Structure 1
Amino acid sequence: MNKPNNFQRIRELNTVQKASLAAALLERMLPNYTLFSEALEFGEPEVLQNALALCWEKILLPKSKISIEKLVEKIEPNVPEVNDFDVFGVYPAIDAATALLTLLHGIQSKDDQDYVSVCKIAQGTVARVIEYQFEVQEQNYTAKDVNQHPLMEYEIEVLSELIDFVEQMGRVDKDNAKELRKLAIADGQTNIGVEIA
């Protein structure tokens, strides 16, 4: 019931609000990449963190001279290949990097659909974690089990709260963007419930 409601609300936001929401969700996703990177000594998390910081700058100051192409070129070698790693953590890491590239593409092409896609990737990561948990426990599950799982319900709730904040933000400025970033990680965990160090 809740799901289309959130995405419907996202579609009704203006472009800058959508971009801010997508960037806020990335604040919750990128630490998944950092944890993976540190554990497996792969990639440079600071490249992705820097790119996200520059995305915020570009959202707030559209005329700022930031080369999106250069950021994409720096991120691409940092996207892990699923077949190179035998750990589940590779999936949330790939999702975080993919979501960041999608956000950059949206900023560059001014395509609102990319911002909606970031929100879908974030939720997809949560779904994949839940499915993995069921599989590890050798439990059968349905799409309904995934949607009603506490982790997914929580993700939908957080998304809803972030949308509430963005809706009432009005014009996005430095101060409310800062508040939004804080709100995104206020619970001290990533979108898959991992503690942010």
Structure 2
Amino acid sequence: MPVNISLQDLSLWQQTAFSAAILERMLPNYQMFSQAANFGNFKILRNQLDLVWQLLEQGQLKINFAAQLEKLEDEIPDVDKFDFFGVHPALDTCMALGSLLQGMQDKDEETINNVGLLSQSSVSYYLGILLASEQEKLQAIVINEQDIEDHPLMQWEVETQQELFMSVKISKENKQTCKQLKEMALSEGMSNLGIEI
């Protein structure tokens, strides 16, 4: 993986806000899969992420994490039951949201840190498929890790995560910062896979 941003210097609030912003970029991938596959309820994931933002903004909001994680369980697609690419980023989105909710419940930085890694992994997997089909046309055989790291989409993913990280690190823990992070995450109008929202 090209970058591993360490969240240990951030407060739990900052870690959560950073990860929620990354999830904003992943969520459209689930929505598109859900529509194409006629599977899952995107609104459940959207509502769960909204709850996270509300907790960050208001502080005193109580979330029943166990109930939310159980709800999310039903929306996780089984990759063996769908034969098109969209199932993989949809699964990554569910795993990332689950990591965030679990990490918030346990106040565990490592679990929350999975969100950024899953987003990068989604991009990496997508590029692997994309570059493989391009090289098939060119009759080339190998794709190496460097090809994926150098691809503009992966560079955009890494830069976006770094920007969000720097922004959350220097900002106050308030509603204004939440708004700013959401705007930054969605400023290009695309999911982390470069798909228009």
Q: Which residue of 2 aligns with 1:46?
A: 43
How big is the shift at 1:2?
A: 6.6
Q: Which ranges in structure 1 are unaligned for 5 or more consecutive residues?
A: none
Report the residue type matching 1:112 in the other structure: E
Say which SS state the counterpart of residue 47 (structure 1) adopts: helix
The residue that corresponds to 2:75 in the other structure is: 78
Aligned counterparts, 1:16-95, within 5 A = 16-95=13-92
Encode CA deviations 1:43-66: one digit per residue, 9 max, x unaligned: 000000000011122234444222
Q: Distance in 1 between matches of 2:54 and 2:104?
A: 11
Aligned mate of 2:169, from 148, 167, 170: 167
Q: Which moved more, 1:59-68 or 1:120-129?
A: 59-68
What do you get for the CA RMSD once the two structures are aligned?
1.5
Tell me the TM-score normalised to structure 1 length. Answer: 0.92
Partner of 2:119: 122
Report the TM-score, using the length of structure 2 for normalisation: 0.92
1: CA distance, partners of 2:12 / 2:50:
18
Give the Å deviation of 1:40: 1.1
5+ residue gaps, structure 2? none
Contact 2:2 2:149 in 1 (8 A): no
Deviation at 1:12, TM superposition (A): 2.0
What is the aligned residue count?
192
SS across alignment from 1:190: coil
* Pairwise CA distance, 1:114: 1.4
